[in-house]
Amino acid sequence: MPNSKPTTPFSGKMERKDNQSPQGEVAGILVEFLEVAITSVVYLKGIYPSGAFERRRYMNVVVQRARHPQLREYIHSAVSGLLPSIQKGLVERVAVTFFNTDNIPMERFIFKLMVNQSFGSKVEESDLEFSLRSFLIKLSVSQSLTTVLPRDCRWEIMAYFRSLPQVSTSKDAEMWIPTDTKQWQQPPLITPIKSMNSEPLGLQLYLEHPSPAEQVSG
């Protein structure tokens, strides 16, 4: 039966600046995408009531937007704070990590990214958005690949840097602090969800879960 619920455009679009470098254009599009994709992950996991989200349309796909200002601002500020580092190719992975009550990771959604620093041509925004759109579609039907989480779990956004930005030259760097999160001692089980590889941008989305040995020892 067709779903006739109304949708409105997603309002998280960042301003495009004139005379941006190709890397700046790619980073801007990617940061917008990550805000929507991370919200989709949190919605998918069902740790908040469905009423905490509202339907929006982004890249011609129906997505979810957080209603609660603090939740929305946390996601927005976290990913927008990464913009300068993504543009410079410093960010290797962005993770949405879910923890149990012992603060041990139970599941990670990983966005592994590579912004080509030598790409100097015009960025075909429509082509890039078409590729990213497929990630949102795939993500929306990926629940069967994920772990059922306890109701009292918590989550956070984590970034893994190839090299750390200089705090003295970037206010955004001050947002990111080393984590004391417990780490898995064994290599995780990896479940691919979607990947793309274009000249300006490479992106992989996959799940990480603790290995069976890790679960037994934990």
| Average pLDDT of the residues in 58-73 | 94
From first CA to last CA, the distance across the chain in angstroms is 45
| Residue (of 94, 90, 131) closest to 109 by Cα position | 94
Judged against a pLDDT cut of 60, whether residue 94 lies above it is answered with: yes
Structure confidence at residue 103 (pLDDT): 87
- pTM passes above 0.85: yes
Q: What is the CA radius of gyration of the chain?
A: 17
Structural domains of the chain, ranges and CATH numbers in brackets? 22-216 (3.30.900.10)
Structure confidence at residue 180 (pLDDT): 57
